[in-house]
Chains A and B, each alone.
Chain A
Amino acid sequence: MPRFGAGYNRRDFMKLMGASLALAGTAGCSHGPLDKLVPYRNGPAEQTYGKPVFYASALPRDGYGVGVLVETNMGRPTKIEGNPQHPASLGATDVFLQASVLELWDPDRSQTVRRGKSIATWNDFLGTLQSPLADLAARGGAGLRILTETITSPSLAAQIHSLLERYPAAKWHQWQPINHDNLHAGATLAYGEPLDTIYRFDRARVVVAFDGDFLDDAPGFVRYALDFSTTREAHAAPERRSRLYALECTPTLTGAAADHRWPLRASDMIVALRELAAALGATTADSATTSAIPAQWMPSLVADLQANASASIVTAGRRQPPEVHALVHVLNAHLRNVGNTVLHIPPVVAQPKDQQASLRSLVDDMRQGHVQIIVIVGANPVYTAPVDLEFARALEQVPLKVHSGLYVDETALRCDWHVPAAHPLESFGDLRAFDGTLALAQPGIAPLYDGKSAHEIVATLAGDAASGNRELVEAYWRSAHATDFASFHETSLREGVIRESAPASVTPQLRREAVERAVSSHNAQSDAAAAADDIELVFVPDARTGDGRHANNAWLQELPKPLTQLTWDNAALLSPALAKRLGIASEDVIEIGTGDERLDVAAWIVPGIPDRSVTLALGYGRTAAGRIGNGRGVDAYRIRASDAPWIRNGITIARTGRTYALACAQTHHSIDGRDIVRTYTVSEAQACKPDVCGTPRYRDERTLYETPPMGPYAWAMSVDLSSCIGCGACTIACQAENNIPTVGADEVRNGREMHWIRVDRYYEGVVDDPRTLFQPVPCMQCEHAPCEVVCPVEASVHDAQGINVQVYNRCVGTRFCSNNCPYKVRRFNFLRYVDDVPGLDAQRNPEVTVRMRGVMEKCNYCLQRIQNAKIGADIEGRRVRDGEVVTACQAVCPTRAIVFGDLNDPQSAVNRRKNSPLDYALLAELNTRPRTTYLGRVTNPSPMLASFEASRHAPEPPPAGAVDTRPPSNR
């Protein structure tokens, strides 16, 4: 439960009272202001009392920069929006960036310098460092090791390099559990250098994703999702429309978006890729005898790819071995995609070295006593290092261990010194995006706890403890822009992106033979290893906690994971078939064995996983994450060894007889044949006329009640289900915008989550590989709202702009409105869910009421944003323009699936969408006349595969319960 109890006992209270009294006494002795005081009459420039100020900045996501606009209210960062000018954002963000404001205000963050277990000061630390640093200088830095995560910051990299010049014997190691080793190794194999690959999905007509994650968590996926959606949206031009084939192991958003999805074990991807390469004639190697790609697929795949040469993309997920990536490069080159849809750029990261090898060499050195000082900046290797390296034991050999991080985490606890890190929202910096574009980062607030940025830590090691974060970053850019620094700096900070900083793409020479050799030798290995009853274990970064760094973030913990809809825990995901064979039900605790290691973890049955494959997410089982993250889930790193960081073959599974209650936000998964998510193929959609496609949005029936008078605006929303990829960013953006509390795992199990917009996930079709349908559901703002007529106290009322508003002050909590809401979008404060924790309340949006217990709440189309736009328009004496009001869910959406606007404006974007024949109202037969409507999901299946897909996905929906994978406790 993320509720920070008042935490005062009697003693604390007495202490506090005593201290207050003592201090109250001293107040009488004050001598008046010691310094000149300035009343807040003319505030700082750009700051109007009560108005938010936005700062352009960049935030790291796995080390790669994403441009953001930080909304600050009276100096407090409260919300993150995407920076429309930044190529990795284009105005959208992802769940992690949305949650970063909560991380900033997290009361569990490290707040002081620590020496061992005791509180110390920064000066203590500098003092302690003095003599070891002097010794270091004498030794040329021998014995100094710096361990960082992936770094793309040029200024930080320059600082580290100059430090290494100063101490030539010192070494810089990088470790991040979710790294790009495989991608870099694959590129090195194919091109001889660790080039980065960026994709232009907006130009691609055919995409083949092997274990692909380009919509999930690949660097730049926010941008990719937008590019991809331009070829997918309900009314995409026919010549732009793409077709996505996905072969994947763990069901991902990429697979859910695919027109054709095939479940395939992660270990077999290379086989499939070789088959495809052979069929396309890209490689000379003959096709393997086993068929990983279904035979029916191949003609369609080959035809599509060949017909769309130079307009196709073949991509592979980062957990695939280097050989797969190398083969992908060969295929893309063969299909003439390189330079068109697939671009290669010099590596974005400052040091594209194999991180695992780097960590291994560090551990070896530590073990052999070669390391005198280790400075760990940001990384948490005690928790994340491969288990066989035994990092924690090796760390004990180091005489002086320094850790800097946001939290006193597992690594900090084993270090001699811990320095609190400045949050990215508290520091200056610079970051490269996935495509190499540079952006300057600036803080939205001064460090809350005197945290030190990585720049300052590195500078301190270099003997410069005086320079601040800002000077250090500026010094780098001043040297780079000696002549025009002032204007460069001003422009770059203002725009949040450094103009024309993206590197030009390169056209490297492909080493086809080397790739083929590597692939065939890899195949020989895997063929030898593969056995018929072999079960593979696939590690994935958790969709919500990442590699574990976000474990203490209650927003992320409670955000249902896409596809599983689980919250607050990780689980071993396995297919219905495997579960049946092993006699496992969801929520059974199973023991996964990998050689010497054993891990007990709750099982969760997920349709669409291939047989003989188990997926386990990293990022849980933290012991020093904070009050939210500690003890949630199980630590998958404990069975993640360096020889198989992503895919481990030959695991054993045993039942333990125990069960563990998982908190799933959705307990029924089949759409039960109801008309909830409409799907069309492209040809069906083209043939669609309003009278053909489904019911009208409402019937003009007589009503006993007078139609309420309408004001000048009639707000409405449209959600394009073709664009929506189900990422859940809308949910968390809404949470940040509207001060929505989290309720904890037990309450989620009770069915009491508070999200105002949820993303429903339905399965349709066969259990082993069903079609996955996503549907974001905010309040429908019904014109004939069933909730309003049943409220006895007029707490649920309609306003003149068509919004069904909830008057919190008037609500007595009968909950009849919720019962009567067919969409179940109303949320009730069953208990006191809001925490009055100093710090957390600083995050709240001052424009939105914080609700007390016993009160119903719901989406109101971000009324505060509408009101701000109207005030602005009124001041200028005009109507609100189309697109001026952007709801939080709309702003964050990477695919622009949500459009919001005024129905009274015939030219508005929302009206254009609603005029589409694909537009439909959810549960229109109830005649609630929703203002929120949907555009049906249009897919572009291959005509050649029509009969194949029809044979797999029964035309008739399965009977209720056929895809019922609910655990017994929820059944």
Chain B
Amino acid sequence: MATDGGTLIHPSGERYVAPGTLVPPRGERYTGAIITDKIADLVLVRPMGRGFYIGFIVTSAFTLLFLVAISYLFATGVGIWGVNQPVAWAFALTNFVWWVGIGHAGTFISAFLLLLRQHWRTSVNRFAEAMTIFAVAMAGLMPILHLGRPWFAYWLVPYPDVMNIWPQWRSPLIWDIFAIATYIIVSILFWYMGLIPDLASLRDRAQSRTKQIAYGLFALGWRGEARQWFRFETAYLLMAGLATPLVISVHTVVSLDFSFGLVPGWHSTIFPPYFVDGALYSGFAMAIVLAVPLRAIFRLRDFITVDHLSKMAILLLVTGEIVFYSYVVEAFNAYYSADAYEIAMIKIRYFGPYAPISWSVILCNVLIPQALWSGKLRRNPLALFCLGMVVLLGMWLERFMIIVASLERDFLPSSWHMFYPTFWDLATLAGSVGAFAFMFLLFLRFLPAISMSELRKEAREKPIRASA
């Protein structure tokens, strides 16, 4: 790579207009080399701009807030939150379910769609998987934070202790431990495995010794041999096979945390599919919310195309309709059961003290997303971004509605009590969002946001042409 008066000249002759904006002439196809250059240079060459610094400072500030909130929580107790009797679970569990759900889209995109040979996934799977890992990391923290004595969290894990006490296997919380632990392990492995060829590319292209060593270590000696590719492809497919059922199982287990309980509003057999679908719904929303700025800021519009967004929007619409159906079925079941407590729950949910939340859920998750029926809108990135935000908010509120509004009024009216969040509730939520964004920024900084190897393969089969 040479420089010509400050302008970078690529060996292939194309000129960098600005770092990281290498594009073939309009209408020409991207070669594998250009794809690799374009994506790898985002990590290796492109300097950190002012926008990145601002983003970094803001997200680290929120991460710091998260750490402060956690420290204060550990020092003082969960009483710093608004939880009470009867609402013993509130923000922490809402955040937990929400974050786990967000993670789901990543796995769905990378594993489910891989098995279904949906090739368009190649452009989005990498950052979607990263999103999964960071979201599940946030999710995994929440149940620990919410414990009364978090330093004993390891008691939920079956380990041979001197007292010979095992966890209590009937509790869904134990199933949760396994579900979440499996999920995060498989997600990390799957993600990392997919990264190996790309890490090798970065290793080969890195110009500083530190980067060469760092990427080299993680590339595990990948040389791109045919034999390696053969093994890799097989293993990757197997991993996809392993990860795919997790999309279903994890949120099923999470939903059992609630449907196993007696609380009206929780005790429902529709919860597993309802939760899995809701998880995908929020996950696709998050994927869109991340993809839109990603392709704009890093000029990846040719890789993450409007078609991709549109396909994700269709998935969003489909999952959204199923969510809507679930709401209807929930209400129908309550009345069909003729159970006074279930009927009361539905009445309270939609006309009780938390009615504004519930109607916001309907607005965000049901009414506004109907706009996705418009094909024009599905191809409008800005509109999709806003819609994704709306769905994310709606899904958080939905979890809040299910958890808090159900607990607030259960069987004996004497125990009913409102939940009000405290500053620390909000700080924990905001902090976890900040920490998620912080980690995502670090990911963009150090790892290729799109799978170079897969995209090259994809481009060979189906040319990607430059649009501008």
Known: A794-B168, A816-B261. A828 touches B414 (CB 8 A): no
Name A residues whose Cβ lies closer than 8 Å to a Cβ of B: 666-672, 674, 676, 705, 747, 750-753, 758, 760-762, 775, 777, 786, 788-794, 810-816, 818-820, 822-824, 826-832, 852-856, 922-923, 926, 960, 970-971
B200, CB-defined interface residue at 8 Å: no
Q: In the complex, which residue of chain A has the Cβ closest to the Cβ of B143?
A: A814
Partner of B148, one of A777, A791, A822, A829: A829
Chain B residues, Cβ within 8 Å of A819: 86, 88-89, 261, 263, 407
Q: How far is the CA of A1 from the CA of B417 in the complex (A)?
A: 20
Q: How far is the CB of B173 from chain A (nearest CB, A)?
A: 4
Q: How far is the CB of A712 from chain B (nearest CB, A)?
A: 26
Chain B residues, Cβ within 8 Å of A854: 77-78, 147-150
B31-39, B122-130, B152-160, B389-397: which lies at the interface: B152-160
B198, CB-defined interface residue at 8 Å: no
Proximity bits, B83-105, A CB within 8 Å = 1, else 0: 11111110000000000000000
Q: How far is the CA of A406 from the CA of B266 in the complex (A)?
A: 53
**Count the A-B residue pairs with Cβ separation under 8 angstroms: how many?**
176
- Are B413 and A671 neighbours in the complex by a CB distance under 8 Å? yes
Chain B residues, Cβ within 8 Å of A830: 77-79, 83-84, 148
Known: A674-B413, A810-B165. A667 touches B418 (CB 8 A): yes
Q: How far is the CA of A775 from the CA of B77 in the complex (A)?
A: 32
Q: How far is the CB of B346 from chain A (nearest CB, A)?
A: 13
Known: A790-B173, A793-B155, A813-B78. A856 touches B148 (CB 8 A): yes
* 8 nearest CB pairs, A to B: A813-B148, A854-B148, A830-B79, A751-B84, A831-B79, A815-B88, A824-B415, A760-B414
- Are B344 and A672 neighbours in the complex by a CB distance under 8 Å? yes
Chain A residues, Cβ within 8 Å of B412: 674, 676, 760, 777, 822-824, 922-923
- Are A855 and B149 neighbours in the complex by a CB distance under 8 Å? yes
- Are B411 and A923 neighbours in the complex by a CB distance under 8 Å? yes
Chain B residues, Cβ within 8 Å of A815: 83, 88-89, 146, 148
Q: How far is the CB of B109 from chain A (nearest CB, A)?
A: 32
B425, CB-defined interface residue at 8 Å: no
Q: How far is the CA of A137 from the CA of B159 in the complex (A)?
A: 84
Q: How far is the CA of A133 from the CA of B167 in the complex (A)?
A: 75
- Are A674 and B148 neighbours in the complex by a CB distance under 8 Å? no
**Prevailing SS type, chain A contact patch:** loop
Known: A815-B88, A815-B148, A818-B85. A824 touches B77 (CB 8 A): no
Chain A residues, Cβ within 8 Å of B80: 831
Partner of A793, one of B83, B168, B409, B413: B168
Q: How far is the CA of A786 from the CA of B344 in the complex (A)?
A: 21
- Are A853 and B77 neighbours in the complex by a CB distance under 8 Å? yes
Chain A residues, Cβ within 8 Å of B152: 793, 812
Proximity bits, B162-185, A CB within 8 Å = 1, else 0: 000111101111100100000000
Chain A residues, Cβ within 8 Å of B85: 751-753, 818, 824, 826-828
- Are B261 and A828 neighbours in the complex by a CB distance under 8 Å? no
Chain B residues, Cβ within 8 Å of A668: 409, 413-414, 416
Q: How far is the CB of B268 from chain A (nearest CB, A)?
A: 15
Chain A residues, Cβ within 8 Å of B168: 788-789, 791-794
Q: How far is the CA of A95 from the CA of B150 in the complex (A)?
A: 37
Partner of B414, one of A777, A793, A853: A777
Residue among A761, A789, A810, A822 with most chain B CB within 10 A = A822
- Are A794 and B148 neighbours in the complex by a CB distance under 8 Å? no
- Are A813 and B165 neighbours in the complex by a CB distance under 8 Å? no
Chain B residues numbered 175-229 whose CB sits less than 8 Å from any CB in chain A: 177
Q: How far is the CA of A805 from the CA of B437 in the complex (A)?
A: 44
Q: How far is the CA of A826 from the CA of B87 in the complex (A)?
A: 12
- Are A812 and B84 neighbours in the complex by a CB distance under 8 Å? no
Q: In the complex, which residue of chain B has the Cβ closest to the Cβ of A666?
A: B414
- Are B173 and A816 neighbours in the complex by a CB distance under 8 Å? yes
Chain A residues, Cβ within 8 Å of B409: 668
Partner of B417, one of A751, A853, A960: A751
Q: How far is the CA of A812 from the CA of B173 in the complex (A)?
A: 12
Q: In the complex, which residue of chain A has the Cβ closest to the Cβ of B168?
A: A794
Proximity bits, B252-266, A CB within 8 Å = 1, else 0: 000001001111000
Q: How far is the CA of A856 from the CA of B407 in the complex (A)?
A: 17
- Are A822 and B410 neighbours in the complex by a CB distance under 8 Å? yes
Known: A812-B153, A813-B148, A814-B147. A789 touches B410 (CB 8 A): no
- Are A823 and B411 neighbours in the complex by a CB distance under 8 Å? yes
Q: How far is the CA of A610 from the CA of B418 in the complex (A)?
A: 30
Q: In the complex, which residue of chain A has the Cβ closest to the Cβ of B80?
A: A831
Chain B residues, Cβ within 8 Å of A758: 414
Q: How far is the CA of A829 from the CA of B172 in the complex (A)?
A: 23
Chain A residues, Cβ within 8 Å of B417: 667, 751, 970
Q: Could you write out 12 A-B pairs with CB less than 8 Å apart? A: A666-B414, A674-B340, A752-B79, A786-B262, A789-B260, A794-B167, A812-B156, A814-B143, A818-B86, A822-B412, A823-B415, A923-B411
Q: How far is the CA of A822 from the CA of B261 in the complex (A)?
A: 10
Q: How far is the CB of A719 from chain B (nearest CB, A)?
A: 14
Chain B residues, Cβ within 8 Å of A823: 411-412, 415
Known: A823-B411, A854-B78. A790 touches B171 (CB 8 A): yes
Known: A667-B416, A790-B261, A816-B171. A831 touches B77 (CB 8 A): yes
Q: How far is the CB of B21 from chain A (nearest CB, A)?
A: 51
Q: How far is the CB of A10 from chain B (nearest CB, A)?
A: 20
Q: How far is the CB of B177 from chain A (nearest CB, A)?
A: 8
Residue among A668, A674, A753 with most chain B CB within 10 A = A668
Q: How far is the CB of B143 from chain A (nearest CB, A)?
A: 8
Chain A residues, Cβ within 8 Å of B241: none
Known: A815-B89, A819-B261. A829 touches B171 (CB 8 A): no
B353, CB-defined interface residue at 8 Å: yes
Q: How far is the CB of A137 from chain B (nearest CB, A)?
A: 62
Proximity bits, B235-271, A CB within 8 Å = 1, else 0: 0000000000000000000000100111100000000
Q: How far is the CB of A787 from chain B (nearest CB, A)?
A: 10
Q: How far is the CB of B179 from chain A (nearest CB, A)?
A: 13
Known: A666-B414, A752-B79. A820 touches B148 (CB 8 A): no
Q: How far is the CA of A777 from the CA of B414 in the complex (A)?
A: 10
- Are B167 and A793 neighbours in the complex by a CB distance under 8 Å? yes
Chain B residues numbered 5-29 whose CB sits less than 8 Å from any CB in chain A: none
B55, CB-defined interface residue at 8 Å: no
- Are A829 and B77 neighbours in the complex by a CB distance under 8 Å? yes
Q: How far is the CA of A820 from the CA of B85 in the complex (A)?
A: 11
Q: How far is the CA of A852 from the CA of B77 in the complex (A)?
A: 11
B82, CB-defined interface residue at 8 Å: yes
Chain A residues, Cβ within 8 Å of B257: 816
Chain B residues, Cβ within 8 Å of A926: 262, 411
Q: In the complex, which residue of chain A has the Cβ closest to the Cβ of B84?
A: A751
Q: In the complex, which residue of chain A has the Cβ closest to the Cβ of B411?
A: A822
Q: How far is the CA of A302 from the CA of B380 in the complex (A)?
A: 84
B76, CB-defined interface residue at 8 Å: yes
- Excluding A790-B172, A816-B257, A831-B77, 12 further A-B contacts by CB distance (< 8 Å) are A667-B416, A786-B262, A789-B260, A793-B168, A794-B166, A812-B152, A812-B153, A819-B263, A824-B415, A830-B148, A831-B79, A854-B149
Q: How far is the CA of A793 from the CA of B87 in the complex (A)?
A: 21
Residue among B82, B155, B174, B413 with most chain A CB within 10 A = B413
Known: A668-B416, A824-B85. A792 touches B174 (CB 8 A): yes
- Are A790 and B260 neighbours in the complex by a CB distance under 8 Å? yes
- Are A789 and B171 neighbours in the complex by a CB distance under 8 Å? yes
Q: How far is the CB of A198 from chain B (nearest CB, A)?
A: 36
- Are B148 and A824 neighbours in the complex by a CB distance under 8 Å? no
Chain B residues, Cβ within 8 Å of A816: 88-89, 171, 173, 257, 261
Q: How far is the CA of A761 from the CA of B414 in the complex (A)?
A: 7
Q: In the complex, which residue of chain A has the Cβ closest to the Cβ of B264?
A: A822
Q: How far is the CA of A750 from the CA of B418 in the complex (A)?
A: 8
Q: In the complex, which residue of chain B has the Cβ closest to the Cβ of A853?
A: B77
Q: How far is the CA of A788 from the CA of B82 in the complex (A)?
A: 25
Q: In the complex, which residue of chain B has the Cβ closest to the Cβ of A670?
A: B413
Q: How far is the CA of A828 from the CA of B79 in the complex (A)?
A: 10
